[in-house]
Amino acid sequence: MFRKICLLLVLLLSFASLTFLPAQTAKSDSELQAMKSDVQRMRLILNQMRNNLAFVDNTQSPLKHQFELETDMWQVALDQMDRRIAGMEGGHQNK
């Protein structure tokens, strides 16, 4: 009798989790839109950083080089986020 109750409980919990699938899809859609918005804003800030860097003295100082490295690092991070977004969009299209 105890085994039957446990089995019934496991089945009920399994079926209950299926009802959350549409909510998870909606959540991932909103996360995808939020990530796209973040990337767009970060690209604007990165462009401002690069524009500001153009006004720094033409000599290759360690400080200028540090700023160049930081803008390059942010570019890599944004490229990675773009790949992640493309993967998420590909996953949504397959569903």
For tokens 């033409």, name the residue: 58
Nearest-Å Rg of the Cα atoms of the chain is: 24
CA-based max dimension of the chain: 83
CA distance 48 to 41: 11
Give the per-residue pLDDT at 6. 47
Give the per-residue pLDDT at 20. 47
Give the per-residue pLDDT at 51. 94
Model confidence over 84-93: pLDDT tens digits? Answer: 999 988 876 6
**DSSP tally for the chain: helices H, then strands E:** 3, 0
Model confidence over 3-39: pLDDT tens digits? Answer: 656 455 554 556 555 544 445 566 688 899 999 999 9
